[in-house]
Amino acid sequence: MTQKLRAGIVGGTGMVGQRFIALLENHPWFQVTAIAASANSAGKTYEESVKGRWKLSTPMPDNVKNIPVQNASHIEEVASGVDLIFCAVDMKKNEIQALEEAYAKAGVPVISNNSAHRWTPDVPMVVPEINPEHLEVIAAQRKRLGTETGFIAVKPNCSIQSYVPMLTALRGFQPTQVVASTYQAISGAGKTFTDWPEMLDNVIPYIGGEEEKSEQEPLRIWGTVEDGAIVKASGPQITTQCIRVPVTDGHLATVFVSFENKPSKEEILESWKNYKGRPQELELPSAPKQFITYFEEDNRPQTNLDRDLENGMGISAGRLREDSLYDFKFVGLSHNTLRGAAGGAVLIAELLKAEGYITAR
């Protein structure tokens, strides 16, 4: 590609928006040309709008500091300067739905980090290695919205990516029951320890709405495209508990699973090692070379040691063993703000570009 596509970040001042900014700094395909946020930030430079609120450990990229922040609700103004947008806003569900549809109707591809459209029947919710075929519903969505170039695609909940990839690799053995507990970092709430000092030396056994998402969203990812809509899979049965723990980044999961056709431990390990998807086949810029990495050590994966595997885009697994109540149990780990949020959305955009859904406007 000789000329980079122009990317806008809607919700660019929040933690996930900042992560998008950092990830796209030297991206070979996309360049940030527009940043939009609330009316309170509009009119300031990006550097001014996030002064004292930059949450990442890496410095703010120089190439965005002087970009003027636009009002996210000024759809045509923002849309005129971009080929696609990444959306990560903090608004009510119905407001997000309306905002994203307005951008799509204006002809802009929207890759959303928000949950508002995850259950809209003709909006694909994608983990690129798992269900790229769901992009087929974009044609039906465009027809509904009355646009030839715009659409919405969303990424799923950040926590499920710490165990759904491993289960996906084992779907040939027909998992029937899954019990998962997730131990989720505070960045999943858009917080740091400075913002949330009560999380120090503390565990909170509740994250609003998270368990419902963790139990239902995998079934949509494993669903099928029928008549321009995604129909969720009927199984396996999944039950979860989601817990907030005093960790900066990284969601860890403990998983118990039973199968219709129980595999051997060796078959599971082989399935994980060999599993790959379209991002690996296409060698997309953000794709991990090895999607799932298994650690033989009893004390791995560890959040602090392993969340940055493959630039934060790899999935870690460990402690696979037979169980007395279920067939097997294991531990999974993913980086929640990279693979689970901004990085996952960038990978979706790369897949959409490679498959011809996003072009220069």
**Residues tagged active-site:** 158, 251
Please name the residue ranges forming H helices in 207-342: 210-221, 265-274, 278-282, 303-306
Among 39, 334, 320, 26, which Cα is nearest to 161's? 334
Rounded to the nearest angstrom, the gap between the alpha carbon of residue 359 and the centroid of all alpha carbons in its chain is 22
Q: At residue 321, what is the residue type?
A: R
Collect all residues with Cβ–Cβ distance below 8 Å to 93 and sequence separation of at least 6: 115, 116
Q: What angle do CA 167, 171, 172 make, to 5 degrees?
A: 145
| 292, two tokens | 């799932």
Rounded to the nearest angstrom, the gap between the alpha carbon of residue 227 and the centroid of all alpha carbons in its chain is 26
Give the number of other Cβ atoms within 10 Å of residue 196's Cβ.
15
Q: At residue 85, what is the residue type?
A: I
Question: How many residues belong to the chain?
Answer: 361
Q: What angle do CA 248, 299, 170 make, to 5 degrees?
A: 90
Residue 274 backbone phi and psi in degrees, to 5: -90, -5
Would you say 251 and 184 are in contact if contact means Cβ atoms under 8 Å apart? Answer: yes
